[in-house]
Amino acid sequence: MHDKTAAQLKSEILRLTRIYSKLVHQPHKIAAEQNTSFIPGTTPVPYAARVFNEDEVEAAVNSTLDFWLTLGPEGEAFEKELAQFLGVKYSLLVNSGSSANLIALATLTTHKLPPHKRLQPGDEVITVAAGFPTTVTPIIQLGAIPVFVDNDPTTGNIKPDLLEEAFCEGKTKAVMMAHALGNPFDVGAVLAFCRRHDLWLIEDNCDSLGSTYSMPIDQATALGVKENSPGIPFNGTHITRYTGTWGDLSTQSFYPPHHLTMGEGGAVNIVSRPPLKSYAESFRDWGRDCWCPSGKDNTCLKRFQWQLGELPEGYDHKYIYSHFGYNLKPLDLQAAIGRQQLKKLPSYVTARKKNWDYLRSGLKDLSSFFDFSLPTHATAWNVDYSFSWDSSDHLTDCSWFGFMIRVKASAPFSHVALGRYLEEKKIGTRMFFGGNLLRQPVFVQLKKDRPNALRLVGEFLGADEIMNSALFLGVYPGLTQAMLNYEIEAIHDFCAQNK
């Protein structure tokens, strides 16, 4: 063994790594690749979990052996590959989806933007009431004012007819909201509103990687969108793009429950405006003005020729800071895992859609107890797994994050009771994240301490309905048909016991 070269040793380590992973990590594979038994009531059915095979484990070990550690060649490659997949100018890796939201919004605060476009303390950002808190908290953390509007409980997304009421001339600078549980929000209405008032649009795409939105060519072109995302065939009538590619900036999360995983990790996508990349990168990397990658010097070829602020001319550009920044980079080995995951994204999306359809079909006879979600612009679900659509001629195709059901007010049980029952059966569920965030302790306290720190538009009947009636099941690619059948049977049993 001691006579082997380093390359031979590495090859042998990686070969054994694959063997080990194949033996140990069976439950974490996509359902079609699993070779494990499921015991109803004993084997847990999580709402989400990591899905990977030997490829990711080998990539992680390979990167560890190289011991670059900090974001480097794997990160650079993953950023390019993610941007190419989505069809955006740039993707910038960060250490979480929450950090991605923080960096995306911070990017709009830079003094390098024109004054009328710069987000400053006291300016307003429109968002929705129900969702995950870190879509909203960066607005407050950066000194801006979140303007809350209600959710449509059927889609989980914004009621777009409230946007004009939420707008305040000279104060509103941006719209920032998530595509809920893989369901695109009404991109047509939201983007038209932003274009009309010259506002930034940040899409929180953390739960929706692989979802698409389509609109007629003439309408898309009028909004400045002229081509499909890469890999999406053109049908001759509509422009179809992935969510996260319609606005100015978007965000991704690679936390284990999400469509792809790096363990911890996320990304900021710069859709079409290259300068935003250098601003976002600065905020991610300590606030420095220099754009040299880690471990590289003098990319600008004038490292000692700058004069910025009140520093002396020639001060080292690597130590000039233009923003109050952070250090929010992931590790290079995480990016190595992400690169392998990205190759599998199409199959993961297909599995999520298939699992959503299977649950919807299996629960279709329980409509007296439950209201079921619909994709934005859909008016009905059909037994052939298709949808009926509204008259807008806009279409959505959901890369579902979860299967949300709402317990009807007329039902003889609550969503809490259902959740407790499913937990007893070892079936994982989640409520719709924070529900109506305005009811959360931190926002209740904020309203007491600083009443002007947020603004509310209208009532929040939809957000409250979601909070009081909704939970969701998993649809992730590791769920087997046996697991889905067990979930369907358990929900039927619960309804039968509680008529």
CA dist., res. 269 & res. 248, Å (int): 8
Q: What confidence category does residue 2 fall into, taking pLDDT thresholds of 50, 70 and 90?
A: low
Report CA-CA distances (Å) from 179 to 77, 96, 130, 192, 450.
27, 17, 12, 17, 29
Does the annotation mark 258 as catalytic?
Answer: yes
pLDDT over threshold 80, residue 4: no
pLDDT over threshold 70, residue 320: yes
Any residues with CB less than 8 A from the CB of 303 and at least 6 apart, and which? 290, 297, 316, 317, 318
Share of the chain above pLDDT 90, in %: 95
Going along 139-257, which residue ranges are E strands?
145-149, 172-178, 200-204, 212-216, 238-242, 249-253
Q: What confidence category does residue 74 fall into, taking pLDDT thresholds of 50, 70 and 90?
A: very high
Q: Are 249 and 270 in contact (CB under 8 A)?
A: yes
Q: Taking the model in full, what pTM does it have?
A: 0.96
CATH classification of 1-287+322-499 is 3.40.640.10, yes or no?
A: yes
Any residues with CB less than 8 A from the CB of 411 and at least 6 apart, and which? 368, 369, 370
User: Whose CA is closest to 475, among 373, 385, 381, 357?
Assistant: 357
Q: What confidence category does residue 296 fall into, taking pLDDT thresholds of 50, 70 and 90?
A: confident
Q: What confidence category does residue 13 fall into, taking pLDDT thresholds of 50, 70 and 90?
A: very high
pLDDT over threshold 80, residue 314: yes
Q: Are 305 and 314 in contact (CB under 8 A)?
A: yes
CA angle 65, 69, 72 (to 5 degrees): 105
| 197 CB-contact burial (10 Å; exposed 0-12 / middle 13-18 / buried 19+) | middle
pLDDT over threshold 70, residue 169: yes
Going along 299-357, which residue ranges are E strands?
none
Render pLDDT for 343-377 as a digit per residue (tens, 0 to 9): 999 999 999 999 999 999 999 999 999 999 999 99
pLDDT over threshold 60, residue 341: yes
Q: Tell me the one-letter amino acid at 425.
A: K
Q: What confidence category does residue 3 fall into, taking pLDDT thresholds of 50, 70 and 90?
A: low
User: Whose CA is closest to 262, among 160, 355, 322, 341?
Assistant: 341
Which has more pLDDT, 4 or 417? 417
Q: Are 402 and 181 in contact (CB under 8 A)?
A: yes
Half-sphere exposure in the Cβ direction for 346 (13 Å, CA):
6
How many Å is the Cα radius of gyration of the chain? 24
pLDDT confidence of residue 36: 83
Which has more pLDDT, 290 or 457? 457
Q: Which of 28, 238, 258, 377 is catalytic?
A: 258
| 333 CB-contact burial (10 Å; exposed 0-12 / middle 13-18 / buried 19+) | buried
pLDDT over threshold 80, residue 1: no
Render pLDDT for 223-246 as a digit per residue (tens, 0 to 9): 999 999 999 999 999 999 999 999
Q: Kindly state the helix (H) or strand (E) to which residue 466 belongs, with its residue range.
A: helix 461-469
User: Whose CA is closest to 265, among 275, 274, 257?
Assistant: 257
| 187 CB-contact burial (10 Å; exposed 0-12 / middle 13-18 / buried 19+) | buried
Render pLDDT for 405-450 as a digit per residue (tens, 0 to 9): 999 999 999 999 999 999 999 999 999 999 999 999 999 999 999 9
pLDDT over threshold 90, residue 297: no
pLDDT over threshold 90, residue 294: no
Dihedral angle, C-alpha 79, 82, 85, 87, nearest 10 °: -60
Q: What confidence category does residue 137 fall into, taking pLDDT thresholds of 50, 70 and 90?
A: very high
CA dist., res. 317 & res. 307, Å (int): 9
Q: Is 172 left (phi over 0), alpha (psi -120 to 50) or beta?
A: beta
Render pLDDT for 31-41 as a digit per residue (tens, 0 to 9): 888 888 899 99
